[in-house]
């Protein structure tokens, strides 16, 4: 059998083996990178990405803003844990990056989060709107979207590598870099339409159960739309595509979420403990 045909069969087998049903959403996902692997990779990437900001004094440098973001996030996490009880063991963390030109936020596998001050500069968001941003990002982690993106990136890398290796042994070193490439690409790859819809649906519910008005999901995206036309870096849009009907879909969810928002049920808080970005002595 010719090398390229063999490679194609190997890749096809990997795709079939990687099909899983997500326990949160019920959607079929292609996952060959386990969530544990994604979490381990995220811990390392988190430190690498944030250390330059820390070295410049641009990490958690405004106590008022940091307290605001941390306080909102602490109200969301208990409801994330209710979705997936095993996430109580995640090393949840949120850092505020002082970068007024970047409109972005993210949550990695394992609960490692970042919020850029550009979101405040560009949007002037209410607490309810910030809760929608963080709820949406936490939802990506709950639904294993980073592991899914890493798997997609790795499959592409391995596909290219397999053809190269089977065709010419001089390229054998390409495969060794596959996992590292996948980890980096996962941070930059846009989410699929299905993943965005899932994160919207889960995120608005997390926020409503934490006591934040679900209507703010619509006003948030209205502001996002206006901000995307400005001169600032709207990185949130590069990894979070905004379909034309997104706001309508969120508005349609409001009646379903409103009872959670208006409920008299207790609003638990998951207390985050400040942790150094770098291990002591390094």
Residue positions annotated with a catalytic role? 137
Please report the beta strands in the chain, taking only residues with DSSP state E, as ranges in sequence order: 19-21, 28-30, 93-97, 105-107, 112-116
216 to 67, 205, 208: CA distances (angstroms): 21, 12, 10
Buried/exposed 49-76: b ≥16 CB within 10 Å, e otherwise: bbeebbeeebbbeeeeebebbbebbbbb
Question: Closest Cα to residue 242, out of 188, 207, 187, 197?
Answer: 197
Q: Are strands 112-116 and 93-97 parallel, antiparallel or unpaired?
A: parallel
Q: How far, in Å, CA of 127 to CA of 18, rounded?
A: 39
Buried/exposed 238-260: b ≥16 CB within 10 Å, e otherwise: ebbeeeeebbebbeebbeebeeb
Q: How far, in Å, CA of 225 to CA of 275, rounded?
A: 35
Question: Closest Cα to residue 63, out of 274, 278, 277, 280?
Answer: 274
Contacts of 31 (CB under 8 A, 6+ apart): 18, 20, 144, 147, 148, 151
């Amino acid at each position: 059998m010719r090398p390229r045909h063999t490679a194609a069969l190997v890749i096809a087998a990997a795709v079939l083996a990687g099909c899983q049903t997500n326990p949160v959403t019920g959607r079929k996902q292609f996952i060959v990178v386990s969530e544990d692997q994604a979490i381990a990779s995220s811990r390392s990437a988190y430190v690498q990405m944030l250390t330059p900001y820390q070295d410049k004094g641009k990490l958690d440098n405004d106590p008022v803003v940091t307290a605001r973001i941390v306080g909102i996030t602490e109200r969301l996490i208990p409801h994330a844990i209710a979705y997936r009880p095993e996430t109580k063991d995640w090393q949840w963390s949120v850092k505020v990056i002082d970068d007024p030109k970047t409109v972005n936020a993210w949550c990695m596998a394992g609960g490692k989060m970042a919020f850029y001050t550009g979101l405040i500069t560009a949007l002037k968001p209410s607490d309810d709107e910030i809760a929608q941003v963080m709820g949406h990002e936490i939802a990506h982690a709950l639904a294993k979207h980073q592991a899914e993106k890493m798997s997609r990136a790795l499959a592409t890398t391995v596909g290219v590598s397999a053809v190269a290796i089977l065709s010419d042994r001089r390229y054998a070193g390409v495969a060794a870099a596959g996992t590292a490439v996948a980890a980096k690409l996962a941070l930059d790859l846009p989410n699929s339409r299905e993943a965005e819809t899932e994160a919207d649906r889960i995120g608005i519910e997390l926020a409503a159960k934490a006591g934040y008005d679900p209507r703010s999901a619509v006003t948030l995206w209205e502001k996002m739309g206006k901000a995307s036309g400005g001169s600032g870096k709207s990185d949130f849009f590069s990894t979070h595509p905004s379909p034309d009907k997104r706001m309508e879909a969120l508005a349609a969810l409001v009646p379903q979420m409103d009872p959670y928002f208006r409920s008299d049920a207790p609003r638990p808080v998951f207390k985050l403990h400040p942790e150094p970005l770098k291990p002591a002595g390094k």
